[in-house]
């Protein structure tokens, strides 16, 4: 499973890169707004740091405007992946942009049929939002499972990019049900390595190592 980081904060991206397991980045307008920095400049900087796909979201009301913005975003760097919301306009833009060789990540997926429509339109990624479904007492992981079955039934190459991840167990479950990518906030990435028994085990080994007589 690929690991993307879900942030527009360059400091967090550099910290995640240092772990050696980062395959890409996803951003959205809320994450960009949080940085207080200009959109295009931020995306260009992230693209220069991370070789994998970097999702940059277009915000528009018509397919033509999505296509125009998508082309502009794709021109910023070779690894830009244009993010579009699932809607009639977004789907039409997805078809046009992917036929031009531009990567597209279709976002705000809450139903398997939305994902199937995106795959038919040639999407590179679909982003089902697990946490936001769990937040309303639905089962986010079930959505990933169902999309996995549908894509495998027909051999769609569209990758399932699990988004809205809230905790390490979401990451484990994504790997178990076969998501292609998990996009993870830095706060969750930093929890992926820790376990209380690992911490106490390291402390004990370090303490005992000091008791070993030097030769």
Report, as residue numbers or ranges, the catalytic residues.
83
Q: Which of residues 171-210 bind ligand G3P (CB under 6 A)?
A: 183
How many other CB atoms are there within 10 angstroms of residue 209's CB atom?
8
33 versus 202: smaller Cβ distance to ligand G3P: 33
Helix (H) or strand (E) holding 173: helix 168-177
136 versus 215: smaller Cβ distance to ligand G3P: 136
Minimal distance in Å, beta carbon 209 to ligand G3P?
41
Structural contact between residues 84 and 77, judged by C-beta atoms closer than 8 angstroms: no
Q: Which of 132, 142, 148, 167 binds ligand G3P (CB under 6 A)?
A: 132
Q: Which of residues 6-45 bind ligand G3P (CB under 6 A)?
A: 6, 26, 28
Minimal distance in Å, beta carbon 47 to ligand G3P?
17
How far is residue 42's CA from residue 28's CA, in Å, rounded to a whole number?
12
How far is residue 174's CA from residue 118's CA, in Å, rounded to a whole number?
20
Q: Is 24 helix (H, G, I), strand (E, B) or coil?
A: strand
The encoded tokens of residue 194 equal 């820790």
125 versus 206: smaller Cβ distance to ligand G3P: 125
Using CB under 6 A, count the residues that bind ligand G3P: 9
The encoded tokens of residue 170 equal 């979401």
79 versus 127: smaller Cβ distance to ligand G3P: 127
The encoded tokens of residue 173 equal 């479950």
| Distance between start and end Cα atoms, the chain | 45
From 40-48, 68-76, 95-103, 125-133, give the range in contact with ligand G3P by CB under 6 A: 125-133
How many other CB atoms are there within 10 angstroms of residue 79's CB atom?
18
Q: Which of residues 154-173 bind ligand G3P (CB under 6 A)?
A: 163-164
The residue ranges that bind ligand G3P (CB under 6 A) are 6, 26, 28, 129, 131-132, 163-164, 183
């Amino acid at each position: 499973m690929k690991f993307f980081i879900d942030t527009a904060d360059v400091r967090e991206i550099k910290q995640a890169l240092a772990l050696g397991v980062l395959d890409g980045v996803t951003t959205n307008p809320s994450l960009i707004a949080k940085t207080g920095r200009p959109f295009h400049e931020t995306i260009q900087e992230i693209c220069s740091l991370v070789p994998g796909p970097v999702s940059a979201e277009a915000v528009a009301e018509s397919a033509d405007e999505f296509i125009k913005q998508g082309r502009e975003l794709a021109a910023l760097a070779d690894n830009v992946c244009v993010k579009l919301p699932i809607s009639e306009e977004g789907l039409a833009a997805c078809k046009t942009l992917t036929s031009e060789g531009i990567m597209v990540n279709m976002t705000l997926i809450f139903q398997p049929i939305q994902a199937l429509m995106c795959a038919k339109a040639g999407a590179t990624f679909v982003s089902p939002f697990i946490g936001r479904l769990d937040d309303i007492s639905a089962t986010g992981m079930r959505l990933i499972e169902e999309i996995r079955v549908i894509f495998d039934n027909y051999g769609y190459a569209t990758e399932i990019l699990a988004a809205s991840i809230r905790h390490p167990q979401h990451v484990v479950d994504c790997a178990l049900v076969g998501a292609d990518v998990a996009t993870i906030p830095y706060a969750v990435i930093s929890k992926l390595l820790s376990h209380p028994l690992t911490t106490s085990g390291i402390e004990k080994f370090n303490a005992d190592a000091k008791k070993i007589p030097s030769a």
